[in-house]
Amino acid sequence: MTSPLPVGVLVSGSGTNLQAIIDQQEAGLLSAEIKVVISNVKDAYAVKRAVNHGIEVKYISHKDFVSREAFDAELTNVLESYGVQLVVLAGFMRLLSTEFVSHWSFRLINIHPSLLPAFPGLNAQKQAFDHGVKITGCSVFFVDEGMDTGPIIIQASVPVMSDDTPELLASRILQEEHRILPIAIQWIANQSIRVEGRRVYTPDDPQ
Ligand code: GAR
């Protein structure tokens, strides 16, 4: 049996996506293991989730560093000290430097609450709601230098209901996030995806 893929998860918030990964891992459904969780927010609930499950957590405040590059270099130091081979951004609300992104190229994924390339950036669910789209969703992608522009690994669609609010919509999108993020991690851990340019070929692609 091959050893599980060592994963580092970066968080800033409530950590429900982190929880989804932990749950899959604990159910024995993931060929990956979270080695460390890094939070840039001290009292993020994600930190508590990691502690509750016996996972190592590091709090690294960007405020303690002179530049984005210096903060990101420390992130890389910590991740590499845990032997991390895949970095998962799970609600990590900070832009990363081009140095960090190129260092972790195709070993860095993010989850975003819209059907990219629509509605990148902050408050994607509200952006979609306000735009009046009928269908939105979520995307997991390899991070590149742009804002939510990297090659897409998996997406899930979520319909907008006639009596929706941005909050209700966001909570239904979140359910789908929890489903697709572990799938993307599992595909990477299994080496069952192939990237050609912007196109990511996965076991889910219709023949
Ligand atoms: C999720 O909805 C995630 O898609 C979003 O932050 C939330 C984190 O929730 N990320 C972004 O908007 C990144 N651009 P969580 O802390 O409960 O996993």
pLDDT single digits (tens) 158-188: 999 999 999 999 999 999 999 999 999 999 9
Question: Is the CB of residue 112 below 6 angstroms from any atom belonging to ligand 1?
Answer: yes
Classified as helix, coil or strand, 201 is strand
Q: Say how many C-beta atoms besides its own lie within 10 A of residue 101's C-beta.
A: 18
Q: Which DSSP state fits 4?
A: P
Strands 108-112 and 86-89: parallel
What is the extent of the structural domain holding 11?
Answer: 5-192
Instruction: Give CA–CA dist 45/51, Å, rounded.
Output: 10
Give the per-residue pLDDT at 207. 82
CATH number at residue 69: 3.40.50.170
Kindly report, residue by residue over 8-19, the tens digit of the pLDDT.
Answer: 999 999 999 999
- 21 C-beta closer than 6 A to ligand 1: no
pLDDT above 70 covers a percentage of the chain that reads 100
112: annotated active-site residue: yes
**Token pair for 38:** 């890094």
Question: Does residue 203 fall inside a structural domain?
Answer: no
pLDDT in tens, 65-116: 999 999 999 999 999 999 999 999 999 999 999 999 999 999 999 999 999 9
Measure 125 CA to ligand 1 centroid, in angstroms: 10
Assigned domain for 34 exists: yes
In this prediction, residue 121 carries a pLDDT of: 97
Ligand 1 atom index nearest CA of 177: 4
Alpha carbon distance 5, 34 (integer Å): 8
**Tally of domains in the chain:** 1
Provide the pLDDT for residue 1: 61
Q: Which of 53, 62, 103, 112 is catalytic?
A: 112
